[in-house]
Structures are given as C-alpha cells and as structure tokens.
C-alpha cells in the first residue's frame, strides 16, 4: 500500500493493496475523468508532482514513464511511499 497527496489541499489518501488509486480517490470525493479504466486510453492521466510511480498502463511511452511527471491513476501504483498528484 502507499498514499497519495492531493497537492491543492494537502489531503493524504491511503491506497490499500486491494484497491486502485482511482477507487481510493473516488472514495474521498475526488473524481478524475476516466474511460477505459484499463490503462489504455490515457483519459485518467494526471500530473505527478512528486514520488515515483509504478506505471502499469500501456498508454504512456517508456520515455514519458521515465520522466515521472504523469501517471494513469486508473491502474498505476507507486514505488515510493507517497505520490503527489496535481489535483
Ligand atoms: Fe483509460 Fe486510465 S482510464 S488509461
């Protein structure tokens, strides 16, 4: 598990192993636009301001993934204890 920090409010949201980042956000009233929810379309891609994502999508290129400044919240997770999202 890891946690997500919402940059605009400082809110910290824990993401359990058995839920997606998207589900954790929605449970806290934060709705990111989504479409495929499978890491394909890129609709949910959100700016990443801090932390290291564990990219699980097939939308971002390897180069974009390495830049570590955006993340598909429908399916990706974290390698660092916390991700800071530009929400
Ligand atoms: Fe399609 Fe996340 S909703 S990539």
Q: What is the pLDDT of residues 17-44, one digit of tens each?
A: 999 999 999 999 999 999 999 999 999 9
* CA 30 to the chain's CA centroid: 12
- Name the E strands within the chain: 2-6, 12-15, 45-50, 53-54, 70-72, 77-78, 82-85
Specify the ligand 1 atom closest to the Cα of 57. Answer: 4
> Are 25 and 76 a contacting pair, CB within 8 Å?
no
The model carries a pTM of 0.96
Give distance in angstroms: CA of 12 to centre of ligand 1.
22
Q: Which helix (H) or strand (E) holds 36?
A: none
Question: In the prediction, which pLDDT does 65 show?
Answer: 98
As a whole number, mean pLDDT of residues 42-69 equals 98
Give distance in angstroms: CA of 59 to centre of ligand 1.
8
Pocket of ligand 1 (CB under 6 A): 34-37, 39-44, 57, 59, 72, 74
Cα–Cα distances (Å) from 56 to 7, 8, 21, 32, in that order, read 22, 25, 12, 17
């Amino acid at each position: 598990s890891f946690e997500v920090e919402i940059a605009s409010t400082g809110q910290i949201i824990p993401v359990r192993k058995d839920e997606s980042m998207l589900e954790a956000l929605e449970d806290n009233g934060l709705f990111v636009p989504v479409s495929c929810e499978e890491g394909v379309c890129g609709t949910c891609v959100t700016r990443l301001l801090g932390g290291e994502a564990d990219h699980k999508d097939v939308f971002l290129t390897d180069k974009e993934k390495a830049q570590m400044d955006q993340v598909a919240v429908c399916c990706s997770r974290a390698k660092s204890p916390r991700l800071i999202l530009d929400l």
